[in-house]
Amino acid sequence: MQNLVLELKEALELDRNPFLVADNQYQQQLANHPLVKNLWTIGHFFVIVSNLSTWHMGLVSGNCEEVSGYSAAEILAQDAEFSMQFGLPEDTRFNIMVTQLGMQYFKSRPVEERELIFFVYFYRARRKDGRIITVQHQCIPLYFDEDKVPFVFSNIYTDITYLGVTQVPQALQINRYTQEIFHIGPQSLRFNKSEEVFSARERDIIKLLLQGKSSRLIAEHLCISQETVRTHRKNILKKAGLNSTAELTTYVLTRGII
């Protein structure tokens, strides 16, 4: 485990003096963050805010026990070691390599883009009771140093086991400033830019579909006819090569489409 910790610190270049957050107002920062406002989850989740410069957690909240089997107090007691131990070792090593590549991309981008760049990891994790689950881990930068490099991150862990995602580990790097999405898998450790598949209207409908809304409710919400909604739904499935809304959920999630 210590080797994995060292690998992560090297990936994040954490060999400098630690940075502290004076006010420690993580809840307020989370509530006001432009990325967090537009994030959504499709299962039980919990949140950990970590200062990777000091290697300590500042906040743990949400459905910790339901997802991981550990209480918030137990996670805080383990501190940063929890994040390294939660994922299976082989998947955690992949995540570290993705982080290293992602930070290289991050530093290459203009400063104004950086607050809107984040990672999404999909991997296997081990609960306290030993059961293996599949998680979606959204990693969002909250605080930046004087060089505009992030050192405090919000980590949102969602249990997506019920979706039956089999291609793990894999990851996304998403730039909401440029609307670019990059995918990376273990077979080829490089970011591959994803092409836009759906129109803006289709993405609106997908989001409402994944909220469980019917065609009638979607039509009312978007002020369009039910027939138009049904046509969009058919086109969405056809473009994605899918047969059902259930399949669409996994497709959209692992591609960072909304």
- Looking at the structure, tell me whether residues 228 and 157 fall in a common domain: no
Q: State phi, psi for 29 to the nearest 5 degrees.
A: -65, -40
Q: Residue 22: what pLDDT? A: 47
Specify the number of domains making up the chain.
Answer: 2
The C-alpha atoms of residue 218 and residue 23 are separated, in whole angstroms, by 42
Q: Residue 13: what pLDDT? A: 56
Whether residue 258 is contained in a domain is answered as: no
Q: Is 24 left (phi over 0), alpha (psi -120 to 50) or beta?
A: left
The C-alpha atoms of residue 58 and residue 53 are separated, in whole angstroms, by 12
Whether residue 102 is contained in a domain is answered as: yes
Residue 187: domain span:
2-193
Q: Residue 192: what pLDDT? A: 87
- Looking at the structure, tell me whether residues 181 and 246 fall in a common domain: no
- Looking at the structure, tell me whether residues 61 and 185 fall in a common domain: yes
Two tokens, residue 49: 């805010």
Please choose, from the candidates 174, 163, 142, the residue with its C-alpha nearest in 3D space to the C-alpha of residue 48: 142
Last residue of a domain, which of 154, 177, 193? 193
- Looking at the structure, tell me whether residues 189 and 233 fall in a common domain: no
| pLDDT (tens place) for every residue of the chain, 258 residues total | 545 555 555 555 545 555 545 455 666 666 666 666 666 677 899 999 988 888 888 889 999 999 999 999 999 999 988 988 999 999 999 999 999 999 999 999 999 999 999 999 999 999 999 999 999 999 999 888 888 888 889 999 999 999 988 889 999 999 999 989 999 988 877 888 888 889 989 999 998 998 889 999 999 999 999 999 999 999 999 999 998 888 898 898 888 887
